[in-house]
């Protein structure tokens, strides 16, 4: 696909997608949202891709937010469409069926934090700053921030971040459950690469079922979620990955999963 605002690179089964608007701190405009949506759909349907890493270009930001210069003149109807476009993208990432990692350095604010929260794992450097500052613009988060913050961190933290609008540091974000791991800036790439490599060698079908059970099941009543888990557990036995994994364990060797 032709991309103006993205850099896409494959290393083995890991696809790295870099938001490439460093001069704008990788701010999300409609064009970038569209390109990223297409890139995620391409990754979804490419069996050679087992893991996706999202990163931001430059040294200052993962994503500093939505593009305020583009938002400033939107009508209410246009703003609704913009919100829907952003929410659709975030949901497509969350339900990709493959692990998506956010590599976070510098600022992850507004739409940038919402993008990070849609990812399954968030690895950040100690220099990361995260927040939902929309209230200072007379706005609210519009790409799912109010809802994913509640689900990840609880109501108190969601209200703190959205009502006060002040960014928090990486240590505080990890305490709240926003970040999976926090490492020194010089160790960030190695940590992301190590996790992505580990995930790329795991059983794709098992990971797909784990993601579905955790993400979709957490929205259901417990009995429904348990039934969903039982069905996913049984489906693992219908595929070759489970047979390979159990054989490898018995034979004391490393499994080679084919994703079926």
Q: Which residues are catalytic?
A: 114, 134
Report yes or no: 116 and 145 within 8 Å, Cβ to Cβ: no
Alpha-carbon distance of 81 to 91, in angstroms, equals 15
Alpha-carbon distance of 94 to 220, in angstroms, equals 16
Asked if 138 and 165 count as a contact pair (C-beta separation under 8 A), the reply is no
DSSP 27-95: -B-HHHHHHHHHHHHHHHH-TT--EEEEEESSSSEEE--B-HHHHTT--HHHHHHHHHHHHHHHHHHHT
Cα–Cα dist 145/161, whole Å: 10
d(CA 23, CA 10): 24
Spatial separation of the C-alpha atoms in residues 255 and 201, rounded to whole Å: 9
Phi/psi of residue 93, each to 5°? -70, -45
């Amino acid at each position: 696909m032709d991309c103006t605002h993205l850099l896409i690179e494959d290393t083995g089964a890991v696809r790295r997608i870099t938001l490439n608007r460093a001069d704008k701190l990788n701010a999300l405009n409609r064009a970038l949202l569209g390109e990223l949506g297409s890139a995620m759909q391409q990754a979804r349907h490419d069996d050679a891709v087992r893991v996706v890493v999202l990163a931001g270009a430059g040294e200052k930001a993962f994503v500093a937010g939505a593009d305020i210069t583009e938002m400033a003149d939107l009508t209410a109807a246009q703003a609704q469409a913009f919100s829907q476009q952003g929410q659709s993208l975030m949901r497509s990432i969350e339900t990709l069926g493959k692990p998506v990692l956010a590599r976070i350095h510098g600022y992850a604010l507004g739409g940038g934090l919402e993008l990070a929260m849609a990812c399954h794992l968030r690895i950040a450097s100690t220099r990361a700053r995260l927040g939902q500052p929309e209230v200072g613009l007379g706005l609210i988060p519009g790409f799912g921030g109010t809802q994913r913050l509640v689900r990840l961190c609880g109501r108190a933290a969601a209200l703190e971040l959205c009502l006060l609008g002040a960014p928090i540091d990486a240590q505080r974000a990890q305490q709240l459950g926003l970040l999976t791991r926090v490492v020194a800036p010089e160790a960030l790439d190695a940590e992301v690469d190590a996790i992505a490599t580990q995930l790329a060698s795991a059983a794709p079908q098992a990971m797909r079922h784990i993601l579905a059970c955790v993400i979709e099941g957490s929205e259901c009543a417990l009995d429904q979620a348990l039934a969903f888990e039982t069905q996913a557990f049984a489906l693992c036995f219908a595929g070759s990955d489970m047979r390979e994994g159990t054989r490898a364990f018995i034979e004391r060797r490393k499994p080679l999963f084919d994703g079926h």
